[in-house]
Amino acid sequence: MQPFKSILVDIDASMAAHPALDRAVRLARASGAKLMIADVVTIPSDAHRYLEPSLEEEYVMRRRRRLEQVARGVAGVPTESTLLSGRPATALIREVLRAGHDLLIRSHARGRTARSTWSCSGSAPALSWSWARGHRPPIPACSAPCTPAPTMPASRRST
């Protein structure tokens, strides 16, 4: 297996914990990869009806500043950050294709308190739609869940 060269990690910059970022930093250090930290902002298309444009701009600006702050906290790895907009799965796939990242790591911490549990599979659940439509994801995608993975009772484990 070739070492990774460019890792895209999706975080929710508004959260305090970033389990996917922790894992991505370890992988980047081990493989000598550069790291792109992304956050995806989704603003409903009808937001203009109930939000003043200045509030939307302020929200995006604060999210971008927080994302940059998180990126500055990463040491020992070449790191950049980008604030994407739109549906998270679509925005992330576009970023992968645009920049040629060879690994995507996502956090399932959005909207919850993150824990340090880690799992990795062929595709992150939110990106599985591409397989369901007969398309192969452009790169491997891993997810860092917030809740512990269920364990199998000892009586059902093979010996």
H runs (alpha helix) in 10-128: 19-31, 53-72, 88-99
Q: Which CATH number does 6-151 carry?
A: 3.40.50.620
- pLDDT of 35: 97
Dihedral (CA of 137, 139, 140, 146) sign: negative
- Backbone region of residue 32 per phi and psi (left: phi > 0; alpha: psi in -120 to 50; beta: other values): left
Strands 34-41 and 6-10: parallel
Would you mind telling me the total number of residues written for the chain in this entry? 159
Which residue did the predictor score with more confidence, 132 or 95?
Answer: 95
pLDDT tens figures, 56-82: 889 999 999 999 999 999 999 999 999
Rounded CA Rg of the chain: 17
Q: What's the one-letter identity of residue 7?
A: I
Task: Say which residue the tokens 């389990």 belong to.
Answer: 19
- pLDDT of 130: 38
Q: How far apart are CA 63 and CA 38, in angstroms?
A: 11
Q: Supply the pTM of this predicted model.
A: 0.71
- pLDDT of 99: 95
pLDDT tens figures, 25-44: 999 999 999 999 999 998 88
Q: Output the CA angle 28-74-71, nearest 5 degrees.
A: 105
Strand order in the sheet with 34-41: 79-85, 34-41, 6-10, 103-107, 141-144
Q: By C-alpha distance, which of 104, 97, 111, 142 is closest to 42?
A: 111
Give the pLDDT band of residue 23 (cuts 50, 70, 90). Answer: very high
